[in-house]
């Protein structure tokens, strides 16, 4: 039906943005891993948990996601969502495939730098698609709408807590870990702003993830993305 064409086009665009985000994030994560400068803050926490509880790193990460989803669900009075686990599995599978590639031609610092940039840009695309937003980012978006924090402040605060707890539990912290915390968390917001202005992409993640936040202003958006 002609009347549904714009709706279908919008859905296909969102799906395309989401899938592109997953591929870009997986490519960045692969380079980040190959650089061997450390793990991201979530892995620091997961590996710290493994020092005390007999779990796999995947299960430990999934438990963190469950806690984040539960917090988001209670905070927004919404039913828990499963879509973050789709992203978890999809990105994980893509990373496993991409890790088979040889990136040794690139110096390790270059791999780290490109990996950080791609992780940030891929995260921005996933959030803006409004599909399969990572569990941690659901909480971050709610923080931006409840407390009016800039996205990068909320994101960095959450991951800093994960990093601190993981380090106390015995998880590894390297140069790459700190680079991930500072640059990935700091670049997602500018990349979302770029996508809105240059590519005319709507930030659907704010509408869907935080639509039940307490009395948000009609024009409330992540600062820097308008």
Tens of pLDDT, residues 92-142: 999 999 999 999 999 999 999 999 999 999 999 999 999 999 999 999 999
Which whole-number Å values give the CA distances from 123 to 102, 136, 170, 219, in the listed order? 24, 11, 27, 23
Return d(Cα 216, Cα 77) in angstroms, integer.
15
Q: Is the pLDDT of residue 223 over 90?
A: no
Share of the chain above pLDDT 90, in %: 82
Measured in whole angstroms, the distance separating CA 22 from the mean position of its chain's CA atoms is 10
Report yes or no: 134 and 201 within 8 Å, Cβ to Cβ: no
pTM of this structure:
0.88
pLDDT reported for residue 215: 37
pLDDT reported for residue 226: 31
Q: Which of 123, 153, 130, 125 is nearest to 140 (CA)?
A: 153
Domain residue ranges in the chain: 34-99+109-209
Q: Which two tokens stand for residue 127?
A: 């959030």
Q: Which of 173, 158, 168 is nearest to 40 (CA)?
A: 173
Q: Is the pLDDT of residue 1 over 70?
A: no
Collapsed DSSP state (helix, strand, coil) of residue 207: helix
As a whole number, mean pLDDT of residues 71-80 equals 94
């Amino acid at each position: 039906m002609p009347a549904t064409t714009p709706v279908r086009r919008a859905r296909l665009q969102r799906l395309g943005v989401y899938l592109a985000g997953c591929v870009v994030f997986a490519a960045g994560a692969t380079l980040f891993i190959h650089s061997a400068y450390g793990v991201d803050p979530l892995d620091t926490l997961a590996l710290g948990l493994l020092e005390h509880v007999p779990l796999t790193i995947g299960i430990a990460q999934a438990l963190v996601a469950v806690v984040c989803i539960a917090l988001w669900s209670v905070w927004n009075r919404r039913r828990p969502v499963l879509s973050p686990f789709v992203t978890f599995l999809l990105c994980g599978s893509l990373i496993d495939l991409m890790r088979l590639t040889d990136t040794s031609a690139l110096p390790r610092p270059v791999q780290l730098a490109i990996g950080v940039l791609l992780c940030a840009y891929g995260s921005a695309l996933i959030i803006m698609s409004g599909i399969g937003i990572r569990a941690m980012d659901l909480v971050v978006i709610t923080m931006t709408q409840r407390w009016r924090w800039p996205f990068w402040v909320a994101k960095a605060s959450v991951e800093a807590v994960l990093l601190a707890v993981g380090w106390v539990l015995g998880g590894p912290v390297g140069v790459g870990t700190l680079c991930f915390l500072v640059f990935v968390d700091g670049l997602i917001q500018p990349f979302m702003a770029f996508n809105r202005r240059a590519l005319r992409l709507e930030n659907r993640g704010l509408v869907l993830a935080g639509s039940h936040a307490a009395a948000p202003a009609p024009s409330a958006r992540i600062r820097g993305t308008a």
